[in-house]
């Protein structure tokens, strides 16, 4: 189990991705754990080394008794980064995690490349947090679950009983009352309003228009107005916006942390090689003539460098879309190219089957029939070498 002893506590963490990529640290809300970031870890994992951890008193991290402080939780995050040899990182937190991010931005700016402060506040409702703290210490997590869930999610999403909603409920119920109460005290006592103007770290403030726990007015707007040059993203979501609107949250995160490449041609060449392979691109480049030069540059710069490189969809999803569209339009040379390259990378034969079944429904059986024939040819194993 990946755990580290940090000063006076033990911290559970997960560090995923290639060592040569920049680090993105994700910090969860009160009553949840690192698992609430599953969607963003998958979405951002191709661009970052993603570090998730359980805040003190939550998940598999140790529970220390008594009241916690935001500076204590911020110091825990820094100690984790230090223990892993991570000097600088981007930080993204929701609710309590956002408060930790705000403290880091104010007190350890040299460590951050950027901070995403989602559904959070510089001065939360102290009386509400104190009432919650007393409630869980006297009655455990059960009595507060329905109230908290009604703040986590909008009514429509809560009524769906989706796997994400039910997982959040189970995680909340499994949270240590002592750890939850300790973090309630940290939120209760936090007031960083006077420190906002001195923050120099690039900041994105994310707010949910259905967030009744920390709405835009009085919370997000205070952060946006007080932090110099803060950027803003409004999502159609309640308090746990990264779970209720995961794609929109990831898109906002990527847009903030991954500015467009200034050289679209180089970006396009890089993505084209990742999707089709060096051998294919080298062959295509070697065959360029003066007549086709501008066309090949157009493809690399705009198709690959502008569209395929956008972070809103991963390469697997874009390839599946390309396969469905090319099959529907009968562009069989392009279909064969993407199918062959995909089967050598992130696709399996079952993926092609699903694309072609969908094609049969929406574009006709003849198109799917040809697609199945090509896919079958590509999936046939080479005969063994004769000795």
pLDDT tens by residue, 52-89: 999 999 999 999 999 999 999 999 999 999 999 999 99
Residues 127 and 245 in one domain: yes
∠ at Cα 151 (145, 152), nearest 5°? 85
What pLDDT, on the 0 to 100 scale, is given for residue 310?
Answer: 87
The percent of residues in the chain predicted with pLDDT above 90, rounded, is: 89
- Tell me if 124 sits within 8 A of 187, measured CB to CB: yes
Residues 34 and 175 in one domain: yes
Which letter, b or e, does each residue of 295-327 get, where b requires 16 or more Cβ atoms within 10 Å of its Cβ? eeeeebbeebbbebbebebbbeebbbebbbbbb
138: tokens are 């006297």
In a domain, 90, yes or no: yes
> Domain of 125: which CATH number?
3.40.50.1820
In a domain, 114, yes or no: yes
Among 257, 289, 310, give the residue marking a domain's end: 257
Is 122 buried (19+), middle (13-18) or exposed (0-12) by CB count in 10 A?
buried
The string of pLDDT tens digits covering residues 284-307 is 899 999 999 999 999 999 999 989
Q: Average pLDDT, stretch 28-40?
A: 98
How many domains would you assign to the chain? 2
Smallest CA-to-CA distance from 238 within 222, 226, 249 is with: 249
165: tokens are 């909603």
d(CA 328, CA 314) in angstroms, rounded, equals: 21
What pLDDT, on the 0 to 100 scale, is given for residue 314?
Answer: 87
Residues 115 and 217 in one domain: yes
Residues 268 and 154 in one domain: no
Smallest CA-to-CA distance from 132 within 183, 168, 171, 167 is with: 183
Among 257, 284, 310, give the residue marking a domain's end: 257
In a domain, 326, yes or no: yes
Smallest CA-to-CA distance from 314 within 118, 114, 41 is with: 41
Give me the DSSP letters along 280-318: HHHHHHHT--TTTHHHHHHIIIIIIIIIIT-TTS-HHHH
Beta strands of the chain (E only): which ranges? Answer: 3-6, 9-16, 23-27, 49-53, 89-94, 112-118, 203-208, 231-235
d(CA 198, CA 251) in angstroms, rounded, equals: 28
What pLDDT, on the 0 to 100 scale, is given for residue 387?
Answer: 43
Residues 228 and 317 in one domain: no
Residues 22 and 166 in one domain: yes
- On the question of pLDDT at 10 being above 80, the answer is yes
Q: Average pLDDT, stretch 152-173?
A: 97
Which letter, b or e, does each residue of 56-86 get, where b requires 16 or more Cβ atoms within 10 Å of its Cβ? bbbbebbbeeeebebebbbbbbbbbbeebeb
d(CA 262, CA 276) in angstroms, rounded, equals: 23
104: tokens are 């880091």
In a domain, 202, yes or no: yes
36 dihedral zone (left: phi>0; alpha: psi -120 to 50; beta): alpha
Residues 313 and 253 in one domain: no
Among 257, 285, 315, give the residue marking a domain's end: 257
The pLDDT mean for the chain works out to 95
In a domain, 384, yes or no: no
The string of pLDDT tens digits covering residues 344-379 is 898 999 999 999 999 999 999 999 999 999 999 998
Confidence band (pLDDT; 50, 70, 90) for 385? low
- Tell me if 305 sits within 8 A of 341, measured CB to CB: no
The string of pLDDT tens digits covering residues 237-266 is 999 999 999 999 999 999 999 877 778 888
> Domain of 304: which CATH number?
1.20.1290.10
The string of pLDDT tens digits covering residues 186-222 is 999 999 999 999 999 999 999 999 999 999 999 999 9
In a domain, 228, yes or no: yes
Distances (CA, A) of 78 to 101, 163, 173, 338, 347: 11, 32, 28, 44, 38
> pTM above 0.75?
yes
Higher-confidence position of 50 and 315: 50
* H-run or E-run covering 186: helix 177-188
The string of pLDDT tens digits covering residues 326-349 is 999 999 999 999 999 999 898 999
Residues 192 and 288 in one domain: no
- Tell me if 74 sits within 8 A of 11, measured CB to CB: no
Residues 182 and 247 in one domain: yes
Residues 208 and 284 in one domain: no
Residues 190 and 290 in one domain: no
In a domain, 292, yes or no: yes
What pLDDT, on the 0 to 100 scale, is given for residue 260?
Answer: 72
Residues 198 and 327 in one domain: no
Give me the DSSP letters along 339-369: HHHHHTTT--HHHHHHHHHHHHHHH-HHHHH
Q: Average pLDDT, stretch 124-134?
A: 97
Q: Average pLDDT, stretch 170-181?
A: 98
Range of the domain at 303: 264-379
Task: Give 93's strand partners.
Answer: 27, 117
In a domain, 387, yes or no: no
- On the question of pLDDT at 90 being above 60, the answer is yes
């Amino acid at each position: 189990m990946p755990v580290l002893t940090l000063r006076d506590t033990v911290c559970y963490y997960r560090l995923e991705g290639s060592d040569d990529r920049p680090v993105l640290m994700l910090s969860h809300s009160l009553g949840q754990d690192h698992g609430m970031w599953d969607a963003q870890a998958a979405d951002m994992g191709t661009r970052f080394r993603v570090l998730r951890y359980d805040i003190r008193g939550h998940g598999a991290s140790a529970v220390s008794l008594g009241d916690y402080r935001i500076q204590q939780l911020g110091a825990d995050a820094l100690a984790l980064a230090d223990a892993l040899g991570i000097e600088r990182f981007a930080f993204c937190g929701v609710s309590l995690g956002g408060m930790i991010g705000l403290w880091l931005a104010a007190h350890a700016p040299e460590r951050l490349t950027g901070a995403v402060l989602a559904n959070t506040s510089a001065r939360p409702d102290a009386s509400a947090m104190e009432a919650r703290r007393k409630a869980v210490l006297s009655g455990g997590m059960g009595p507060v679950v329905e109230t908290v869930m009604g703040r986590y999610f909008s009514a429509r999403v809560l009524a769906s009983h989706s796997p994400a909603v039910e997982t959040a409920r189970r995680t909340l119920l499994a949270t240590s009352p002592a750890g939850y109460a300790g973090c309630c005290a940290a939120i209760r006592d936090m007031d960083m309003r006077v420190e906002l103007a001195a923050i120099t770290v690039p900041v994105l403030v994310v707010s949910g228009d259905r967030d009744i726990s920390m709405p835009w007015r009085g919370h997000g707007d205070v952060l946006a107005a007080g932090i110099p040059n803060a950027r803003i993203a409004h999502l159609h979501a309640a308090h746990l916006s990264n779970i209720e609107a995961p794609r929109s949250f990831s898109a906002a995160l990527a847009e903030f942390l991954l500015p467009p490449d200034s050289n679209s041609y180089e970006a396009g060449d890089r993505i084209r090689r990742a999707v089709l392979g060096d051998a294919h691109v080298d062959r295509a480049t070697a065959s360029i003539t003066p007549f086709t030069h501008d066309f090949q540059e157009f493809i690399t710069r705009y198709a690959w460098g502008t569209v395929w490189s956008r972070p809103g969809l991963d390469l697997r999803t874009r390839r599946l879309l390309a396969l469905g569209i090319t099959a529907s339009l009968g562009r069989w040379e392009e279909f064969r190219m993407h199918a062959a390259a995909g089967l050598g990378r992130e696709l399996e034969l079952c993926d092609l089957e699903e694309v072609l079944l969908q094609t049969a429904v929406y574009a006709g059986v003849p198109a799917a029939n040809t697609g199945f024939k090509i896919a079958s040819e590509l999936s046939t194993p080479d005969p063994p070498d004769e000795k």
